[in-house]
Amino acid sequence: EGNKKESRGALVVLEGLDRSGKSSQCSRLVSFLEGRGISAELWRFPDRTTNVGQMISAYLTNTSQLDDHTIHLLFSANRWEKRSMMETKLKSGTTLIVDRYSYSGVAFSSAKGLDIEWCKAPEIGLLAPDVVVYLDISPEKAAERGGYGGERYEKLEFQKKVADYYKVLHDVSWKVVDACLPMEDVEKQLQEIVLDCVTESGKGKLLSTLWS
């Protein structure tokens, strides 16, 4: 690469229960970064646009039935099929704001009763986020926000189990933001966390892989 010294982008993941506000905050973050002249893209998992993603979507909308292990591996495959593009983007200096990632993968499947270590295994070797922001909301409060669609996991009892597994996955790369604060306050906190993260990544911090 000779004297090419362009700094890399940051890999930022937002996690949280359904209705925690992840998707709106992800879009706002991308606009915010772009407004600051920082190259940024919004990504989401599952990415329903691929063939694998369409199988996942059919499962989530109850159009198809799949064994719990099988759907777990499809979610993981959906991240693997995007891994090289993800690395290319990051290395070219683009920051990725990712709506759900491996933590959703493990939390949702473990909540169904699958062994957590088994669930983590297929994620080994995927790119590790520079930061994971967890939008914290109780399952009850999230349910009160309404707007659960008819998708497979959008049920209070199940979301409670998912919340327990998210707690188990919490590590030093996580920042917890109270998702019940006014939207503007959540937005401000996210902007601060992400700007710091973008700065650190730009300083030559190496990309690493899961689980680290």
Nearer to Mg ion, 48 or 205 (CB): 48
Interface size with Mg ion, residues (CB under 5 A) = 1
Category of 2 on φ-ψ map: left (φ > 0), alpha (ψ -120 to 50) or beta: left
**Shortest distance, position 20 Cβ to ligand FDM, whole Å:** 10
Nearer to ligand FDM, 38 or 131 (CB): 131
Q: Which of 65, 64, 60, 30 is nearest to 46 (CA)?
A: 60
Q: What is the DSSP string of 3-43?
A: T--PPPPPEEEEEESTTSSHHHHHHHHHHHHHHTT--EEEE
**Residues 17 to 36 in contact with Mg ion, rule: CB under 5 A:** 18
Positions touching ligand FDM (CB under 6 A) are 18, 45-46, 60, 75, 100, 104-105, 108, 153
90 binds, among ligand FDM, Mg ion, none (CB under 5 to 8 A by kind): none
Stretch that binds Mg ion, among 13-21, 29-37, 66-74, 114-122 (CB under 5 A): 13-21
Residues 6+ apart with CB under 8 A from 157: none
Name the site residues for Mg ion (rule: CB under 5 A): 18
